[in-house]
Structure 1
Amino acid sequence: MDHTGKHVQAGRVLEWIDRAGYACAAAWSTSYCVTAYVGNVHYDGTIGPGAVVEVGAKVIHTGTSSVHVLVSVHARGLHDTEFNRAMHCILVLVAVDEHGKPHPVRAWEPRSIDDAARQKLALERIPVRTRIKDAMLAERYSGQGTAPRSTLRFVAGDNTANWAGNAHGGTVMRWIHEAAATCAVLLGAEHVRARYSGGIHFHRPIRIGDIVEVDARAILVSGTDIHISILVRSAPPRTPDKASLTTRCMMIFSAPNDQPRPASIEERTSEDRRLAAHAREIISHRSELTKIGDELLRASGSTH
């Protein structure tokens, strides 16, 4: 549950979608897969305690070694009859061999009009994803920023491990959410909820036993929305000063209309202004994407 005790934490739902996406991609590729990218995670609704949850995953496109999976989460109260849309996104997983090297997967082909529509959604996202990735990789963060930030540091425990000895991608996404939510609270928005996660790029795995640093920084406040950039780094415990980037992400938290608005970010330095412009650039890229209709989500739930 979140800090109010009324809703399932968004980070926990991110773990569910990663597990569903992995199961779907592994079944299609008949091999171990690693999460490479999670994009346009829309938090369409909340999930209350005791809710019945349905997570559907379906292959919608394949590359040479990649499997693109559409995942949707629907939920209903225990005494309700209708499921409501709670979250959806597209994951890209890569099939790897026993040495961790990508290997080819069998091609997936649409079998229906809906399949073709889903594949179109996957294909149109590839160039936009590349532009977002390039923009995020080009951005630099230093101590010159004055906006609120939250940094979590801990050791990756064996309870987060997959069979390869790395932290699950879903677990990393939960860490990202926890750091970002803390950062949002620092802007005086105690009751904010996650509205969107995007540009989640996994650059390299986190080994169990590594020291992990999750750094979340607010870069733009627009109305009730707080845009937060998150960088995840890790390092072997014997060389903690040699941390390298593992994951990066952008999240948006929103304050409910009946709650006070978050404090604005005073753009005091050139870095503050540059990062605010960066957030607006990402918003512009995302606006190019076609929204996924519920009719395409509800049909998901099988691997092919």
Structure 2
Amino acid sequence: MNSTQSSLTTPSPSITLRFLAAPTDVLTAGSQGVHGGRVLEWIDKAAYACAVGWSGTYCVTAYVGHIHFTRPIPSGHMVEVRSRIVYTGRSTMHIVNEVLSADPRDGLFTRACDCLVIFVAMDENRKSQPVTPYVPVTDEEKRVQQAAISRIDLRNAIEDEMIAQTYSSNSTAPEITHRFLAKPTDINWGGNVHGGTAMEWIDEAATSVTMAWSGERTVAVYAGGVRFYRPVHIGDLVEVTARLVRTDARTMGVMVHLRAGDPRERNEELPLAIHASMTYVAVDYDGNALPARPFTPQTDEDRALRQHAMRLRELRAEYEPMPLVAPTQHKVRFTD
């Protein structure tokens, strides 16, 4: 086999998507940039392409975590979404993603968001299947792999903490539910709703409840513990419920549950498909963070959920995972 043939058959552990941010990527009039849900959709698509390219088979999103939104992406910016595999399990691929953008007139890319996404490789019967192990070579690749491994215990602890909570009508907390049918345009090549599309729905519901509470425009600054339990299909009735659970000086913590199922079977609560924890800040028209309107829990459940949100913060501090990405800024020369 010659070198050209070899390069065609060796899977690449990374991929970069590049495109322009469009006016339709902005959620609200007067916003400083693209909304967090659309950025998450971009990340999921790039990570999916990376996972499929490595595994050679259909893949599903299992987890998205440690999402840091560091600055807005203006409409008209050139966007780069970089996804790279840093660790593999038997059937899982841990993918680090960075979203950078630049004014096309100067080509100076800076980071706007980064996160970790885990995909699972599936066979033709939708059962998990083994993937080729990823073996790091450089010192930086080895460091990032250890950083991904350092997050496994934290991820499990966060998931256990989130599953243990109770959400009922015994609450006075601000809450909003978006309800709609999943459309054919929402699905991926495997026939299920894009994980990124579902995360966009989650962001929209969480944005709704935080804007209603604060009376201001709000933006996502962090998301963690986005756990995928089951797929969403065309025609499913989707219910996305976002509940405000805590506020501090500037931020608002929101828990979101996405449920989905056959609308003809409404005798029981729709099955849980995705559970997520989101953090938002209210901003003025210049994009400056505003003080958060205080929320005081009234019921035992509200007080327990506030403690739950604080415990999630404590867990992240307790485990102190290694950083996945280093500061990045580079100049790109655009060519035809």
- TM-score under structure 1 normalisation? 0.94
Q: Displacement of 1:157 after TM fit?
A: 0.4
Superposed CA deviations along residues 247-304 of structure 1, whole A, max 9, x for unmatched, are 0000000124856423211121101110000000111112223333435898xxxxxx
Tell me the distance in 1 between the aligned counterparts of 2:58 and 2:33: 33
1:45–1:84 contact (8 Å) kept in structure 2: no
Do structure 1's residue 164 and structure 2's residue 190 form an aligned pair?
yes
Q: Which residue of 2 aligns with 1:137?
A: 163
Identity %: 37
Q: 1:250 aligns with which of 247, 255, 277?
A: 277
Q: Which residue of 2 aligns with 1:6?
A: 32
Q: RMSD in angstroms over aligned alpha carbons?
A: 1.6
The 3 A distance-change label for structure 1 pair 165 and 293 is closer
Tell me the distance in 2 between the aligned counterparts of 1:120 and 1:291: 10
Do structure 1's residue 64 and structure 2's residue 87 form an aligned pair?
no
| Residue identity opposite 1:16 in structure 2 | W
Superposed CA deviations along residues 120-146 of structure 1, whole A, max 9, x for unmatched, are 111000010000001101111011111
Superposed CA deviations along residues 139-181 of structure 1, whole A, max 9, x for unmatched, are 1101111111110000000000122321110000000000000
What secondary structure does 2:151 align onto? helix
What secondary structure does 1:144 align onto? coil
Structure 1, unaligned runs of 5 or more: 299-304
| Residue identity opposite 1:271 in structure 2 | E
Q: Which residue of 1 aligns with 2:291?
A: 261
- TM-score under structure 2 normalisation? 0.85
Q: Which residue of 2 aligns with 1:239?
A: 265
Q: Which residue of 2 aligns with 1:283?
A: 313
Q: Displacement of 1:37 after TM fit?
A: 0.2
Q: Displacement of 1:82 after TM fit?
A: 1.3
Q: Which residue of 2 aligns with 1:39?
A: 65
Q: 1:292 aligns with which of 297, 321, 324?
A: 324
What secondary structure does 1:285 align onto? helix
Q: Which residue of 2 aligns with 1:301?
A: none
| Residue identity opposite 1:28 in structure 2 | W
Q: 1:209 aligns with which of 235, 246, 265?
A: 235
1:189–1:260 contact (8 Å) kept in structure 2: no
> Where do 1:75-154 residues align within 5 Å?
75-154=101-180
Q: Which residue of 2 aligns with 1:52?
A: 78
What secondary structure does 2:40 align onto? helix
| Residue identity opposite 2:27 in structure 1 | D
| Residue identity opposite 2:70 in structure 1 | D
Q: Which residue of 1 aligns with 2:223?
A: 197
| Residue identity opposite 1:191 in structure 2 | R
Tell me the distance in 2 between the aligned counterparts of 1:126 and 1:185: 33
2:144–2:325 contact (8 Å) kept in structure 1: no
What secondary structure does 1:130 align onto? helix
1:189–1:262 contact (8 Å) kept in structure 2: no
The 3 A distance-change label for structure 1 pair 193 and 14 is same
Q: Which has the larger radius of gyration?
A: 2
Superposed CA deviations along residues 18-46 of structure 1, whole A, max 9, x for unmatched, are 00100101111111100000011110111
The 3 A distance-change label for structure 1 pair 5 and 264 is closer
Q: Count matched residues.
A: 298
> Where do 1:172-191 residues align within 5 Å?
172-191=198-217
The 3 A distance-change label for structure 1 pair 259 and 18 is closer
Q: Displacement of 1:187 after TM fit?
A: 1.5
Structure 2, unaligned runs of 5 or more: 1-25, 331-336
Q: Which residue of 2 aligns with 1:302?
A: none
Q: Name whichever of 3-12 and 65-74 sits farther off.
A: 3-12
1:183–1:217 contact (8 Å) kept in structure 2: yes
The 3 A distance-change label for structure 1 pair 183 and 276 is same
2:43–2:97 contact (8 Å) kept in structure 1: yes
Tell me the distance in 1 between the aligned counterparts of 2:136 and 2:111: 24
